[in-house]
Amino acid sequence: MDLSSSAHHAFAADADGLARALEELVAHHGAAVAEAGTTPLPDGIPADGIGPEAALALLAPLALDTATSLWAPTAAAHMDTPTPWITWAAASWTAAQSQNLLHRRSAPGALALEDTLMSWLAPMWGMHGGHVVPGATIANLTALWAARDGAGASRIVTSEAAHVSIAKSARLLGMPLFTLPTDSQDRISLDALADMTRRNPAEMDRTAVVLTAGTSAAGSIDQFDGARRAVSAFGAHAPWWHIDAAWAGPLVFSERHRKALDGIARADSVSVATHKWLFQPTEAAVVLFRDLTRANSALQFFGPGDANQIGLLGSRADRSLTLVLTLLAYGKAGVGAWIDQCIQQIAALEQAMRTRDDVELFGRPSSGILLWRPTQADVDTVAAGLDPGSASVVYARGQRWIRHVAASPLLDADELLYGIEAALRSSDSEKDADPA
């Protein structure tokens, strides 16, 4: 078959087609306007394709109009951030080049770019290098694997607010997991950690301690130095300290807020999800090590040819280009300003919520996450009245809370407040209408 003879089967680049695909993207960009599942698609794979143009036109409404808009001024339900447009361009470059970073010889340019990215990023958290991985779950698993095989840790201690990826890692690595209670701010209880150490200091000598910078529910940041002191006070020494900074790690980009991460540089490893507060397309994260040589020798396999496999992944895509472009284009100050803007909007929302007597706040928002609950209505009833893109319900301190995450620099506290007030009013009127 002559692949160039038919528009339907053309494989090579079609500049006009690409330009039209981007036009579709821009034209459909914005709020979701259609319900998922409303675009009719064939029941099975078409025997003959309908051609790239028709396929793009058919799928544009499905892929673009039904997407949850992370650009809405009320998009605050999850730790999912919108992406700067420059990453859209870079993502299409990445797809077009489809480099496989497994082999140094097959992707020298992409690997050099990744090396540059690591040399830019690692020092931000006081680390000396690391790996780009597809998400913080893999980052945490990789870090704990290095803790086990590089430092002899055979058990994991963390708090009950730690992300589920720590439990998954423990199970995969065959390391028993011990979860300690949290304090009133959802941080690991230093008393509980001290107590555990006091009862059996020798156990601590084979423990990887996992602290969190930005817990999934409340965004709380564990007390890094306090936790170290709670262990060292009894003459114990944990061989590995990992900080899961999936969410709050990028606070180091903000002059105003980086202090919240003081002490992070003393960790042995740090995970940061770059698809959260570094505004990259999902799935992207980094795992960083203070001693990269030690970590890599624990994570290293020698494959055939020049494949030097380090870590979990085999064939792996370039995830650096989008972030290098972002950092190059906007700099530390630009990213820091986006984060500051996110936090400022949540602070404005907090202030407004504090004036109400029909809600209770969890506490001061940590790392841009506000939790609150109605005092005169059921949490789930009020949550059901909120735009689902604007809030989620989480569990913390033994209770359910409505959560708003400052994931977007385009967030508008006034619009969020408007939705909250409407949900509270409507739960009030439901109560009034209830004859019981």
Ligand X SMILES: Cc1ncc(COP(=O)(O)O)c(C=O)c1O
Q: Where are the alpha helices (DSSP H) in 257-320?
A: 292-299
Phi, psi (degrees; rounded to nearest 5) at 156 = -125, 135
Smallest distance, Å, CB 187 to ligand X?
A: 13
Query: Residue 84 carries which side chain, given as an amino acid letter?
Result: P
Two tokens, residue 292:
């990269």
| Pairing label, strands 129-133, 285-289 | antiparallel
Instruction: Cis check for the bond before 283: say yes or no (omega within 30 of 0).
Output: yes
State the nearest-atom distance from the C-beta of 216 to ligand X, in Å. 4
User: Rounded to the nearest whole angstrom, what is the least distance from the CB of residue 285 to ligand X in the complex?
Assistant: 5
Distance CA 135, CA 421 (A): 35
Helix (H, G, I), strand (E, B) or coil at 303: coil
Residue 162 C-beta: closest distance to ligand X, Å: 7
- Which long-range CB contacts under 8 A does 54-61 form with residues at least 24 apart? 56/17, 56/20, 56/21, 56/24, 57/24, 60/24, 60/28, 61/28, 61/34
Give me the least distance between CB of 139 and ligand X, in Å please.
7
Three-class SS of residue 2?
A: coil
CB of 167 to ligand X, least distance (A): 11
Choice between 245 and 335, CB closer to ligand X: 245
Q: How far is the CB of 369 from ligand X (least distance, A)?
A: 10
H or E stretch at 59:
helix 52-60
193: left (phi over 0), alpha (psi -120 to 50) or beta: alpha
Q: Which is nearer to ligand X, 211 or 236 (CB)?
A: 211
Nearer to ligand X, 133 or 321 (CB): 133
Closest CB to ligand X among 80 and 430?
80
Choose between 159 and 296: whose C-beta lies nearer to ligand X.
Answer: 159
Closest distance of CB 367 from ligand X, Å:
10
Which C-beta is closer to ligand X: that of 286 or that of 423?
286
Question: Residue 413, Cβ neighbours under 10 Å: how many?
Answer: 23
| Minimum CB distance to ligand X smaller for 81 or for 165 | 165
Instruction: For tokens 């008393």, name the residue.
Output: 191
Q: Which residues bind ligand X (CB under 6 A)?
A: 79, 135-137, 140, 163, 165, 212, 214, 216, 244, 246-247, 273, 285
Q: Of the two residues 165 and 197, which places its CB atom closer to ligand X in the complex?
A: 165
Shortest distance (Å) from residue 395 CB to ligand X: 14
- In the complex with ligand X, the residue whose CB is nearer, 99 or 159, is 159
Residue burial 323-341, b: 16+ Cβ < 10 Å; e: rest:
bbbbbeebeeeebbbbbbe
CB of residue 331 to ligand X, shortest distance in Å: 24
The closest of 263, 260, 144, 160 to 207, measured between CA atoms, is 144
Place of tokens 């009133």: 184
Radius of gyration in angstroms for the set of CA atoms belonging to the chain, rounded to a whole number: 24
Residues 6+ apart with CB under 8 A from 425: none
Between 114 and 222, CB nearer to ligand X:
222
